[in-house]
Amino acid sequence: MEQRRTSEKTSHRWVDIHHSTHPVDYDGACQHMDHCVEALKRGVGPEVLWFLQHPPLYTYGARTNPSHIAMAHHTGLPVHLSKRGGQLTYHGPGQRIVYCMIHLRHRGIGVTEYMDVLQQWIIRALSQCGIDGVVVPGFVGVWTAFGKVASIGVRVSGGISSHGLAINVREGREPDYPSRSRGFGAIIPCGLEKTSVVSLSDLDPGLSLQDIDTALLATNPFHDPGSVREMV
């Protein structure tokens, strides 16, 4: 797992920023998240924000409609039961995923507040890229005027979060993106039958993953601004 690492200091601890430069398989990602969570529980590891992409695959939460899961299996892409909350979704090249291993209990943050923190983080990052994002009452995630652009699915164990957020940046524009019959177009994303899924590049074709990464780091809600240091 090739990663770049920096750390950002909070009033609680250093927050490691991991950045994987190649797509990470889902099972390996889950194992790494579990390792980070266990280290936090034992007090021997830092909080972590992990920036990555997955190869084309689907994930779903335990309460997903079985008929929706069957749609994903029909595509031939890998389908994974996830420990996170939420419904069926697609992950693949051109999507920025940030997995957040944060000690919510130490920070005094409840799950509902944490979900709002993640949504507002995405909205602030999009604003830095010149795109207006909004929250739709009654739903989780972030929308633009043209459709849903970001999803959130988290797990909290022992007061520590894992999994996190996914923003469609250049989804559908990368060379190894599957056909429309095997990406979002093959499923009912997040169980929302009448919701369009869009990418930021649909609104601004020049927008890159690096652009959204820069915006996410600049608006990161888990650190004090200006406290970034390199780690070896």
- Tell me the catalytic residues: 190
Kindly list the strands in the beta sheet with 14-20, ordered across the sheet, starting from the edge strand earlier in the chain: 142-144, 147-157, 160-168, 95-101, 47-52, 14-20, 3-9, 228-230
> Which tokens go with 77?
């892409």
Buried b (16+ CB within 10 A) or exposed e, 159-184: bbbbbbbbbbbbbbebeebbeeebbb
Contacts of 225 (CB under 8 A, 6+ apart): none
What are residue 91's phi and psi, to 5 degrees? -125, 145
Burial class (CB in 10 A: 0-12, 13-18, 19+), 113: exposed
CA 99 to CA 165: how far, in whole Å?
A: 7
52 DSSP β-pair partners: 97
> Using alpha carbons only, what angle is made at residue 57 by residues 52 and 59, rounded to the nearest 5 degrees?
90
